[in-house]
Amino acid sequence: MLLTLFAFLLALGLLVTFHELGHYWVARRAGVPIVRFSVGFGPILLRRHDRHGTEWALSAIPLGGYVKMLDEAPPGADEATRRAVFNAQPLARRAAVVAAGPAANLILAALIYAFLGLWGMQEPAAVLAAPPAGTPAAAAGVRDGDTLTAVGGEPVASWTQARWQLAEPLSLGGTVSLALTSPDGALREETLRLDPQPVTPDGPDPVRASGLVLRAPYPVAGELVPGGAAEQSGLRAGDRILAAGDLEHPSVEDFVRIIQAHPGQPLRLLVERQGAQVSLSVTPRPEAGEDGRPVGRIGALIQAERPEVLVRLGPLDSVWHGVQRTADMSLFTLRMMGRMVLGDVSWKNVTGPVTIAEYAGRTARLGLESYLGFLALISISIGVLNLLPIPMLDGGHLLFYLIEALRGGRPLSGHARDLGQRLGLGLVLGLMVLALFNDFSRLFSG
C-alpha cells in the first residue's frame, strides 16, 4: 500500500511539475514575469526568490505543481512591465507559452522511451503456441512454435512489440499480415482476418481471442534433492525439459502430471543443456498421494522459464524510437477518444486516480523499466488530454487564440470566454466523475 501511494505521488508530482516547467521555460524566454513556481499545492512549506523575482515554493500537497505568471500589469507599473505581462504578448507568443506544457509531457515521454531503448529491456520472445481451433489465428495457419517477426510489415523483436502493433487492427478489424519463422527456420507470411473487437477494460483479451497466444513456459530443473530420482538419472539444475515420454514441449503442469502418472516406471526425458540436447531416463519414485494412491516424484524443483530477448537500440535509433513511439501512442489515444465519442469504444475505459495509483504500484513492483514505461504512458495521456480543445485546458486556450487569429487579432468578448470556461469546467468535472465512478466500480466488483 505504501509503495503504491509513493509511486502514484511520485508519478503525478513529477509529470505535472514537468508540464508546468514547459510553460515556465517558454514564458521566461518570452520575457513574461513569473510570480511563482510551486511544486505541490496548498500551504507553502519552503520558499526562496531568484534574481528574476520569481518565488520558488515547495507546497504541502504533493499532487503536481503550478506556475503563476503576471497576466496584468499592477497599478502604477512602468511601461516595460506593462509590455512584458502575459496578456500583452503577441498572439504567437501566448500560444507558444500555452502549448509548451503539453509539449513538455510529450518530450518527456519520448526521452523515457529513448532511454529504455538505449538501456535495453528483457521482453518475452514472440514464440506462439498452437492457436485454438476456430480462431482467426488458426484459420490463418499459425502453428505451434512459430516466431512472430513482423506485424503489418512492421518488424517486431518481442511479444510486447507485437501486441502494440496488433492493438489497432484488433480493435478496428480487417486484415493484417504476419511474418512468421517456423521452428525449422522457414520463413513465411500469413494473413490474419479479424472482426472488430469491443474495447472494454473488463472484457476478454482481444489478442488471446484472436488465437495468438504465447507458447507455455518451458519446465526447467531447479534445485535437486540429493540422492533423488532426478539426480540419479543425470538431470542437472538448469536443464530445460524438451520432451517427457511421447509429449514434446510440455508445459510445467503437463510435465508434473506425467511424472505423477508414472510411479516406478522408466520415463524418457529429452533436455537441453548448454545448447546441446541430452537424452535421459528417469524412474519416478512412488509416494502416497492425497487420495492414498501412489504418485511419481523425482525430487526436483521444476521452474517455469519463458524465452526472452534483450531489446536494445543504438543512440540514434533509440531517439527515433522514442519519438516514433510517442507519436504512435498519441495518435492511438486520440483515435480511441474519437471512437469513444462515436460509441465504438466503451466509456468504461475512462480511468481516474484510483486506477492510475494501482498501476503505479504494480509497475513499481515489477522494476524500474516497467515503472518508467508507465510514466511515459501517463505523460502522453496528460499531454494529449491537455491539447483537447476544451476550455479550462491548454487546448481550450489555444482554441480561443485560433478564433482570435481568424478574427484579425480581435479576441472573444469576456462574456463569450466566461461561457466557454463554464462549459469546459462542466465537461471536465463530468469526466472526473465518470473516471471516479469507473475506478470504484472496478474496485468493488473486483
User: Are 446 and 319 part of one and the same domain?
Assistant: yes
Q: What is the pLDDT of residues 220-243, one digit of tens each?
A: 999 999 999 999 999 999 999 999
User: Is 181:215 a contact under the CB 8 Å cutoff?
Assistant: no
Residue with cell 476544451: 390
Q: DSSP H helical segments within 213-314, as ranges?
A: 229-233, 252-260
User: Is 393:98 a contact under the CB 8 Å cutoff?
Assistant: no
Nearest Cα residue to 219 out of 247, 239, 236: 239
**pLDDT > 90 fraction of the chain, expressed in percent and rounded:** 55
Q: Which three cell numbers stand for residue 265?
A: 516406471
Among 265, 281, 305, the domain-final residue is 305
Nearest Cα residue to 302 out of 269, 234, 244, 253: 253
pLDDT for residue 72: 87
Q: Which three cell numbers stand for residue 390?
A: 476544451
- Does any domain span residue 141? no
User: Are 379 and 294 part of one and the same domain?
Assistant: no
pLDDT for residue 202: 62
Q: Looking at the predicted structure, is the pLDDT value of residue 2 above 90?
A: no
Nearest Cα residue to 64 out of 433, 300, 356, 272: 356
User: Are 401 and 380 part of one and the same domain?
Assistant: yes
Out of 4-18, 124-138, 353-367, least confident range: 353-367
pLDDT for residue 200: 67
User: Is 58:44 a contact under the CB 8 Å cutoff?
Assistant: yes
User: Are 245 and 372 part of one and the same domain?
Assistant: no
* Mean pLDDT computed over 76-82: 83
Instruction: Show Cβ contacts of residue 383 under 8 Å, excluding neighbours closer than 6 positions.
Output: 19, 102, 103, 104, 105, 106, 109, 330
User: Are 379 and 436 part of one and the same domain?
Assistant: yes
Q: Which three cell numbers stand for residue 161?
A: 512489440
User: Is 154:165 a contact under the CB 8 Å cutoff?
Assistant: yes
CA distances from 299 to 218, 285, 286, 367 (A): 18, 9, 11, 33
Residue with cell 525430487: 299
Residue 20 bears catalytic tag? yes
Out of 62-71, 95-104, 195-204, least confident range: 195-204
User: Is 65:38 a contact under the CB 8 Å cutoff?
Assistant: yes
Nearest Cα residue to 380 out of 128, 9, 19: 19
pLDDT for residue 204: 76
User: Are 429 and 343 part of one and the same domain?
Assistant: yes
Quote the CA–CA distance of 320 and 276 in Å, as a whole number. 39
pLDDT for residue 82: 87
* Mean pLDDT computed over 21-39: 93
User: Are 364 and 441 part of one and the same domain?
Assistant: yes
Q: What is the pLDDT of residues 81-95, one digit of tens each?
A: 889 899 889 999 999
- The number of helix segments (H) and strand segments (E) in the chain equals 13, 16
Look up the pTM and report it. Answer: 0.81
- Does any domain span residue 334? yes
pLDDT for residue 203: 66
pLDDT for residue 7: 87
Backbone angles phi, psi at 220, to 5 degrees: -130, 135
Q: DSSP H helical segments within 388-413, as ranges?
A: 394-406
Quote the CA–CA distance of 232 and 188 in Å, as a whole number. 44
- Does any domain span residue 107? yes
pLDDT for residue 36: 93
- Does any domain span residue 235? yes
pLDDT for residue 446: 55
Q: CATH no. for residue 298?
A: 2.30.42.10
User: Are 294 and 325 part of one and the same domain?
Assistant: no
Which helix (DSSP H) or strand (DSSP E) does residue 155 occupy?
strand 154-155
Q: Looking at the predicted structure, is the pLDDT value of residue 141 above 90?
A: yes
Dihedral sign, CA of 183, 187, 192, 197?
A: positive
Out of 76-85, 94-103, 371-380, least confident range: 76-85
* Mean pLDDT computed over 68-80: 86
Split at pLDDT 50, 70, 90, the class of 41 is confident
Among 305, 340, 366, the domain-final residue is 305
* Mean pLDDT computed over 61-79: 85
* Mean pLDDT computed over 161-184: 89
User: Is 301:236 a contact under the CB 8 Å cutoff?
Assistant: no
- Does any domain span residue 116? yes
Instruction: Show Cβ contacts of residue 279 under 8 Å, excluding neighbours closer than 6 positions.
Output: 268, 269, 270
User: Is 126:110 a contact under the CB 8 Å cutoff?
Assistant: no
Q: Looking at the predicted structure, is the pLDDT value of residue 192 above 80?
A: yes
- Does any domain span residue 423? yes
User: Is 165:130 a contact under the CB 8 Å cutoff?
Assistant: no
Quote the CA–CA distance of 93 and 398 in Å, as a whole number. 11
pLDDT for residue 187: 94
Q: Looking at the predicted structure, is the pLDDT value of residue 156 above 90?
A: yes
Which domain range does residue 269 map to? 218-305
Among 260, 275, 305, the domain-final residue is 305
User: Is 349:336 a contact under the CB 8 Å cutoff?
Assistant: yes
The average confidence (pLDDT) of the chain is: 89
Which helix (DSSP H) or strand (DSSP E) does residue 192 occupy?
strand 187-194
User: Are 323 and 369 part of one and the same domain?
Assistant: yes
User: Are 418 and 296 part of one and the same domain?
Assistant: no
User: Are 292 and 319 part of one and the same domain?
Assistant: no
- Does any domain span residue 194? no
User: Is 428:394 a contact under the CB 8 Å cutoff?
Assistant: no
Split at pLDDT 50, 70, 90, the class of 281 is very high
Q: Looking at the predicted structure, is the pLDDT value of residue 119 above 70?
A: yes
Q: What is the pLDDT of residues 377-424, one digit of tens each?
A: 999 999 999 999 998 899 999 999 999 899 888 888 888 888 988 888
User: Is 266:283 a contact under the CB 8 Å cutoff?
Assistant: yes
Nearest Cα residue to 149 out of 309, 256, 293, 257: 309
- Does any domain span residue 166? no
Angle of helix 91-119 versus helix 2-29 axis, rounded to 10:
140
pLDDT for residue 133: 93
> How many structural domains does the chain have?
2
Quote the CA–CA distance of 303 and 253 in Å, as a whole number. 10
Give bridge partners of residue 294 from the DSSP assignment. Answer: 288
User: Are 396 and 425 part of one and the same domain?
Assistant: yes
Q: What angle do CA 322, 374, 17 make, to 5 degrees?
A: 85
pLDDT for residue 445: 65
* Mean pLDDT computed over 428-438: 82
| Catalytic-labelled residue, pool 20, 55, 272, 404 | 20
Q: Looking at the predicted structure, is the pLDDT value of residue 201 above 70?
A: no
Which helix (DSSP H) or strand (DSSP E) does residue 318 occupy?
helix 315-342
